[in-house]
Amino acid sequence: MRETRRARRAFVLPYIMLLCVVLLALAALMITGSQDVARGTDSIEEKNGTFDAAEAGLNDALDGLNVSLSMILGGRGTMANGYKYSYSIHPNFLGLLGSLIPDPIRGLGLVNIPGGSAIIVSIGKSPDGGRTSTVEALVTVNTATVNFQRYAIIAGRNIQGSYQNGLVDAGMTNYAHVHANGSINASVSGGIQGNATASGDTNTLPPFKTQTSTIALPTVAQFDTLVSNYEDQTKLFPGAANLYVAAGSSLAPAYTCQSSVTSGCLLFYDGPLNLASQSVTFNGPWTLVINGDFTQGTTASIAFVGQPGLLITNGNASIEGAGLTNAYVEVKGSTLFGGSGTFAGAMITLGNFTFDSNDSSGQFRFKSGVVPPAMTITGRVKVVTYAEY
């Protein structure tokens, strides 16, 4: 019996040892597989990290070009996770025809950059400087042309309220036209030296035309872009011709644009402006931009002297007081109009235009000469084509 048991034990032992070998082999395979998965995960993370860094470089380049198309030709940076990027910009924004440059990625052959465009090449690198990823983008600038209509008043929505005195054409040609892209529910005691038209169903002013074609006005996006461009101009090129005034600051009694400044002068007021009683005179060709609501109080006045001025309000406007003369006024929101003084110029408002029934003893004098020519608005840079390597 004892010999039989010993034989069985001797027979089972090799199986146990073989099983241990198999288990060890399986464990080794599992460890190797886990290591491969870990290495694969690390590789994917590193790949994603370098692409993210390259994308960050592209976005950095786009942000720079949105400030100025000529300020930068390249740059670099480091992200919070240690990944780095470097980018180069190959511009042809001012060209009318295509421009050939050596391939900025492979260095072989030529690449054509269409007129009004640029090529951005951004390279992302891992923290150890090993793996790299590249993105390449052809970008161009959004532009829009805004045509200003020769109307005394244009409203993007409705015209309402009552006005004591008439709307007079300073040129005595009966061109003091009024239009609402909505309806007109207003009364003007002194009459209008021109026609009143409405795209809506109601018009209470002669010749009482309704259902007329809408008039194309600047869009809100175009308005915002225009204001942003004006702000960039004052911050990038400060000086006597480009004045930036912080919100809450007071305006000077007078501003003079030197005759040597052929393109005119700009004052950018960065916030809502409330002129309670102050009188401000702008001598020469000025553009006044108010980055917020504008309120002209009961005794306040603004006068553009020598040449017509442009007043842009990036918000709502309450234009009353002692007068606003020789100005083309653009309001992004709605406008309340009245006061005891004379308004001389023309006006568009993207919202409602309301005559102040409680304070409208002044006069509206339409001056066709203040209406500016068509304006091309340069917007943000956009990506046309994109590739990853």
In this predicted model, what pLDDT tens digit does every residue of 291-341 receive, in sequence order?
Answer: 999 999 889 999 999 999 999 999 999 999 888 999 999 999 999 999 889
Report angle CA 49, 51, 57 to the nearest 5 degrees. 105
Residues contacting 54, CB < 8 A, separation 6+? 85, 122, 123, 124, 133, 134, 135, 388
Q: What H or E segment, with its residue span, contains residue 163?
A: strand 159-163
What per-residue string of b and e applies to 28-57 under the rule 16 or more CB within 10 Å gives b? eeeeeeeeeeeeeeeeeebeebbbbbbbbb
Q: What is the pLDDT of residue 66?
A: 75
Q: What is the pLDDT of residue 38?
A: 47
Number of neighbours of residue 283 by Cβ within 10 angstroms:
17
Paired with 134 in beta bridges are: 123
Q: What is the pLDDT of residue 292?
A: 96
Q: What is the pLDDT of residue 68?
A: 73
Q: What is the pLDDT of residue 309?
A: 95
Q: What is the pLDDT of residue 43?
A: 66
Mean per-residue pLDDT, 184-197? 94
pTM attached to this predicted model: 0.71
65-69, 172-176, 192-196, 204-208: range with lowest mean pLDDT = 65-69
Asked whether 56 and 135 are in contact (CB, 8 A), the reply is: no
Amino acid symbol at 348: I
Asked whether 330 and 313 are in contact (CB, 8 A), the reply is: yes
What is the distance between the alpha carbons of residues 352 and 9, in angstroms, rounded to a whole number?
102
In this predicted model, what pLDDT tens digit does every residue of 336-371 receive, in sequence order?
Answer: 999 889 999 999 999 999 999 887 788 999 999 999
Q: What is the pLDDT of residue 182?
A: 96
Q: What is the pLDDT of residue 353?
A: 97
Q: DSSP alpha helices (H): ranges in the chain? A: 2-67, 220-236
Q: What is the pLDDT of residue 348?
A: 96
3-state secondary structure of 362: coil
Peptide bond preceding 207 in cis form (omega within 30 of 0): yes
In this predicted model, what pLDDT tens digit does every residue of 6-51 receive, in sequence order?
Answer: 555 555 666 676 667 667 766 666 666 555 544 545 567 888 889 9
What is the distance between the alpha carbons of residues 189 and 227, in angstroms, rounded to a whole number?
36
Q: What is the pLDDT of residue 144?
A: 72
In this predicted model, what pLDDT tens digit does every residue of 142-185 receive, in sequence order?
Answer: 777 777 889 999 999 999 999 988 899 998 899 999 999 999 99
What is the distance between the alpha carbons of residues 122 and 134, in angstroms, rounded to a whole number?
6
Asked whether 111 and 136 are in contact (CB, 8 A), the reply is: no
Asked whether 288 and 319 are in contact (CB, 8 A), the reply is: no
- pLDDT of 228 strictly over 90: no
What is the distance between the alpha carbons of residues 330 and 154, in angstroms, rounded to a whole number?
10
3-state secondary structure of 170: coil
- pLDDT of 381 strictly over 90: no
